[in-house]
């Protein structure tokens, strides 16, 4: 049951006080709390103080003309989600295709994927000591896994990489097991900016449920 709704209006919206009051009454009749915002910045400021709000970002399908701009926008928004997660020393990445490499994938494409991941964690990489990857056994490419390990060692020699296999989790999550914060992302690394997708911070109770599933699947994984 929906208890509250948050609507972000354009900063140049011509809504007035009467419009907002009328909208509020509609939701009040349904016992739903209504929170209007004007512009993303106002919403982000509120989100920082309310960790249980959802802030969904759409990742565009880019093209060569706009790739740099779209990549920069994606990284800025993704790093905002990581900041909310408050990642410190440990990160769990759940992705059935994280270590997969297509047979015809070129070295340039592999390096581009590693570059993107490094940029995604650029603000937290110095403090990381452990990245745990939960993925599907049949999708692990050993050459790519080794390339990933070498790249992580090059940016922070203190980062330890471990991978754990299961076919029981379909979706993709990034989890901070220390603070129990996380995000969901709609595509794997090799799909970012190639297809339309999304990412979003998770509610605290959803993160708790995911950690319970991880504990059931891997009893000794979390300390």
How do residues 119-137 score in pLDDT, each as one tens digit?
Answer: 999 999 999 999 999 999 9
Residue with tokens 């504990």: 215
Task: List all residues 6 or more positions away from 15 whose beta carbon is below 8 Å from its beta carbon.
Answer: 9, 36
Q: Do 91 and 130 touch, CB atoms closer than 8 A?
A: yes
Give me the pLDDT at residue 195, please.
84
CA–CA separation, 173 and 211 (whole Å):
11
Structural domains of the chain in order of their starting residue, each with its CATH number: 1-50 (no CATH), 56-217 (3.30.870)
**What is the 8-class DSSP label of residue 202?**
P
Structure tokens at 199: 């990412």
Which pLDDT band, with edges at 50, 70 and 90, does 40 fall under?
low
Give me the pLDDT at residue 198, please.
84
- For the entire predicted model, the pTM comes to 0.76
Q: Do 62 and 193 touch, CB atoms closer than 8 A?
A: yes
pLDDT one-digit tens code per residue, 160-215: 999 999 999 989 999 999 999 999 998 898 889 888 888 888 888 899 999 999 99
Structure tokens at 168: 């029981």
């Amino acid at each position: 049951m929906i208890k509250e709704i948050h609507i972000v209006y354009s900063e140049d919206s011509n809504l007035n006080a009467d419009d907002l009051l009328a909208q509020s009454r509609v939701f009040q009749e349904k016992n739903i709390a209504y929170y209007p915002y004007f512009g993303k910045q106002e919403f982000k400021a509120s989100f920082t103080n309310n960790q249980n709000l959802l802030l969904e970002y759409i990742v565009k399908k880019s093209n060569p003309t706009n790739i740099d701009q779209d990549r920069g926008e994606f990284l800025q928004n993704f790093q905002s989600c990581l900041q909310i997660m408050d990642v410190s020393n440990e990160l769990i990445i759940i992705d059935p295709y994280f270590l997969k490499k297509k047979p015809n994938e070129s070295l340039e494409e592999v390096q581009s994927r590693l570059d993107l991941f490094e940029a995604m964690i650029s603000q937290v990489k110095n403090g990381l000591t452990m990245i745990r990857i939960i993925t599907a056994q049949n999708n692990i490419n050993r050459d790519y896994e080794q390339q990933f390990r070498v790249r992580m060692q090059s940016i922070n020699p203190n980062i330890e990489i471990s991978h754990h296999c299961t076919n029981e989790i379909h979706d993709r999550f990034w989890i901070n097991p220390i603070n129990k914060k996380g995000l969901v992302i709609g595509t794997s690394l090799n799909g970012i900016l190639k297809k339309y997708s999304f990412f979003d911070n998770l509610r605290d109770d959803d993160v708790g449920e995911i950690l319970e599933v991880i504990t059931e699947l891997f009893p000794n994984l979390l300390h």
